[in-house]
Amino acid sequence: MIQDACRIAREALIKPFEGYGKKLPDGRCIAYPDPATHGVPWTIGWGTTGFNVASGTIWTQEQATVALDAEIASKAYGLLKYSPTLVSASDRRVAALISFAYNCGLGNYRVSTLKKRVNDEDWAGAAEEIVKWNKAAGRVMPGLTKRRVAEAGFLM
Protein backbone atom coordinates (compact mmCIF):
# COMPACT_ATOMS: atom_id res chain seq x y z
CA MET A 1 0.00 0.00 0.00
CA ILE A 2 2.51 2.64 1.05
CA GLN A 3 4.79 1.95 -1.95
CA ASP A 4 1.89 2.52 -4.36
CA ALA A 5 0.90 5.74 -2.58
CA CYS A 6 4.52 6.94 -2.73
CA ARG A 7 4.68 6.18 -6.47
CA ILE A 8 1.40 8.00 -7.13
CA ALA A 9 2.50 11.00 -5.07
CA ARG A 10 5.87 11.15 -6.86
CA GLU A 11 4.54 10.85 -10.41
CA ALA A 12 1.14 12.56 -10.22
CA LEU A 13 1.70 15.34 -7.70
CA ILE A 14 5.27 15.98 -6.60
CA LYS A 15 7.26 15.81 -9.84
CA PRO A 16 4.71 17.76 -11.91
CA PHE A 17 4.36 20.54 -9.35
CA GLU A 18 7.97 20.72 -8.18
CA GLY A 19 9.51 20.28 -11.63
CA TYR A 20 13.16 19.38 -12.09
CA GLY A 21 14.50 22.76 -11.14
CA LYS A 22 17.39 24.56 -12.81
CA LYS A 23 18.38 21.76 -15.15
CA LEU A 24 21.82 22.19 -16.68
CA PRO A 25 22.56 21.24 -20.32
CA ASP A 26 24.24 17.99 -19.19
CA GLY A 27 21.17 16.89 -17.17
CA ARG A 28 22.54 17.81 -13.77
CA CYS A 29 20.73 20.44 -11.70
CA ILE A 30 21.87 23.44 -9.68
CA ALA A 31 20.31 24.79 -6.50
CA TYR A 32 17.99 27.77 -6.81
CA PRO A 33 16.51 30.18 -4.24
CA ASP A 34 13.01 29.78 -2.86
CA PRO A 35 10.55 31.57 -5.18
CA ALA A 36 8.71 33.23 -2.28
CA THR A 37 11.71 34.45 -0.27
CA HIS A 38 14.23 34.70 -3.14
CA GLY A 39 16.70 33.02 -0.78
CA VAL A 40 16.48 30.40 1.95
CA PRO A 41 15.57 27.61 1.66
CA TRP A 42 17.68 26.80 -1.36
CA THR A 43 16.13 24.03 -3.43
CA ILE A 44 17.49 21.46 -5.88
CA GLY A 45 16.14 18.73 -8.13
CA TRP A 46 12.48 18.01 -7.45
CA GLY A 47 12.06 20.38 -4.53
CA THR A 48 14.72 19.02 -2.19
CA THR A 49 15.84 21.38 0.57
CA GLY A 50 18.03 20.90 3.60
CA PHE A 51 21.34 21.63 5.23
CA ASN A 52 23.27 20.14 2.29
CA VAL A 53 21.60 22.40 -0.31
CA ALA A 54 22.98 25.90 -0.79
CA SER A 55 23.76 28.37 -3.53
CA GLY A 56 26.05 26.65 -6.04
CA THR A 57 25.13 23.06 -5.08
CA ILE A 58 25.07 20.81 -8.17
CA TRP A 59 23.59 17.29 -8.29
CA THR A 60 23.24 14.62 -10.94
CA GLN A 61 19.71 13.57 -11.85
CA GLU A 62 20.41 10.30 -10.02
CA GLN A 63 21.28 12.20 -6.82
CA ALA A 64 18.08 14.23 -7.18
CA THR A 65 16.00 11.08 -7.68
CA VAL A 66 17.53 9.32 -4.67
CA ALA A 67 16.88 12.39 -2.49
CA LEU A 68 13.30 12.66 -3.78
CA ASP A 69 12.49 9.01 -3.05
CA ALA A 70 14.09 9.13 0.41
CA GLU A 71 12.13 12.25 1.34
CA ILE A 72 8.87 10.79 0.03
CA ALA A 73 9.38 7.63 2.11
CA SER A 74 10.20 9.71 5.18
CA LYS A 75 7.05 11.79 4.75
CA ALA A 76 4.91 8.69 4.20
CA TYR A 77 6.06 7.03 7.41
CA GLY A 78 5.75 10.30 9.33
CA LEU A 79 2.17 10.65 8.16
CA LEU A 80 1.38 7.13 9.38
CA LYS A 81 2.78 8.09 12.78
CA TYR A 82 0.52 11.15 13.06
CA SER A 83 -2.48 9.62 11.30
CA PRO A 84 -2.62 5.85 11.85
CA THR A 85 -6.06 5.74 10.19
CA LEU A 86 -4.25 6.18 6.86
CA VAL A 87 -3.50 2.44 6.82
CA SER A 88 -7.08 1.94 5.65
CA ALA A 89 -7.22 4.96 3.30
CA SER A 90 -6.96 4.71 -0.46
CA ASP A 91 -3.57 5.08 -2.12
CA ARG A 92 -4.76 8.31 -3.77
CA ARG A 93 -5.66 9.87 -0.42
CA VAL A 94 -2.35 8.89 1.09
CA ALA A 95 -0.57 10.20 -2.04
CA ALA A 96 -2.26 13.61 -1.63
CA LEU A 97 -1.06 13.81 1.96
CA ILE A 98 2.47 12.71 1.05
CA SER A 99 2.57 15.51 -1.52
CA PHE A 100 1.31 17.98 1.08
CA ALA A 101 3.87 16.87 3.66
CA TYR A 102 6.65 16.95 1.06
CA ASN A 103 5.79 20.56 0.31
CA CYS A 104 4.70 21.90 3.72
CA GLY A 105 6.49 19.58 6.14
CA LEU A 106 5.39 17.09 8.75
CA GLY A 107 5.61 19.70 11.51
CA ASN A 108 2.92 21.78 9.85
CA TYR A 109 0.81 18.68 9.23
CA ARG A 110 1.18 17.58 12.86
CA VAL A 111 -0.44 20.77 14.21
CA SER A 112 -3.00 21.28 11.43
CA THR A 113 -6.76 21.05 11.26
CA LEU A 114 -6.08 19.00 8.12
CA LYS A 115 -4.62 16.25 10.34
CA LYS A 116 -7.70 16.37 12.58
CA ARG A 117 -9.98 15.92 9.56
CA VAL A 118 -7.85 13.03 8.26
CA ASN A 119 -7.85 11.34 11.65
CA ASP A 120 -11.65 11.72 11.78
CA GLU A 121 -11.77 10.27 8.24
CA ASP A 122 -13.64 13.42 7.20
CA TRP A 123 -12.35 13.48 3.63
CA ALA A 124 -14.55 16.34 2.46
CA GLY A 125 -13.33 18.39 5.43
CA ALA A 126 -9.73 17.40 4.66
CA ALA A 127 -10.18 18.58 1.07
CA GLU A 128 -11.51 21.91 2.38
CA GLU A 129 -8.54 22.28 4.72
CA ILE A 130 -5.77 21.34 2.32
CA VAL A 131 -6.63 24.12 -0.16
CA LYS A 132 -6.03 26.71 2.58
CA TRP A 133 -2.28 25.94 2.44
CA ASN A 134 -1.59 28.00 -0.67
CA LYS A 135 0.64 30.73 0.75
CA ALA A 136 4.39 31.19 1.00
CA ALA A 137 5.97 34.08 2.87
CA GLY A 138 2.40 35.28 3.54
CA ARG A 139 1.47 35.57 -0.14
CA VAL A 140 -0.97 33.44 -2.13
CA MET A 141 1.08 31.58 -4.74
CA PRO A 142 -0.75 30.49 -7.92
CA GLY A 143 1.36 27.32 -8.19
CA LEU A 144 0.54 26.32 -4.61
CA THR A 145 -3.14 27.01 -5.24
CA LYS A 146 -3.11 24.64 -8.24
CA ARG A 147 -1.21 22.00 -6.27
CA ARG A 148 -3.59 22.15 -3.31
CA VAL A 149 -6.62 21.87 -5.62
CA ALA A 150 -5.07 18.79 -7.22
CA GLU A 151 -4.34 17.26 -3.79
CA ALA A 152 -7.91 18.04 -2.68
CA GLY A 153 -9.19 16.14 -5.71
CA PHE A 154 -7.19 13.09 -4.64
CA LEU A 155 -8.73 13.27 -1.16
CA MET A 156 -12.31 13.02 -2.43
Q: Is 18 a catalytic residue?
A: yes
Give the contacts of 71 (CB within 8 A, at least 6 positions apart): 48, 102
Q: How far is CA 20 from CA 14, 48, 51, 52, 117, in A?
A: 10, 10, 19, 18, 32
Among residues 11, 18, 129, 151, the one annotated as catalytic is 18
CA separation for the pair 1, 84 (Å, rounded): 13
Q: How far is CA 80 from CA 13, 38, 83, 88, 94, in A?
A: 19, 33, 5, 11, 9
Indicate which residues carry an active-site annotation: 18
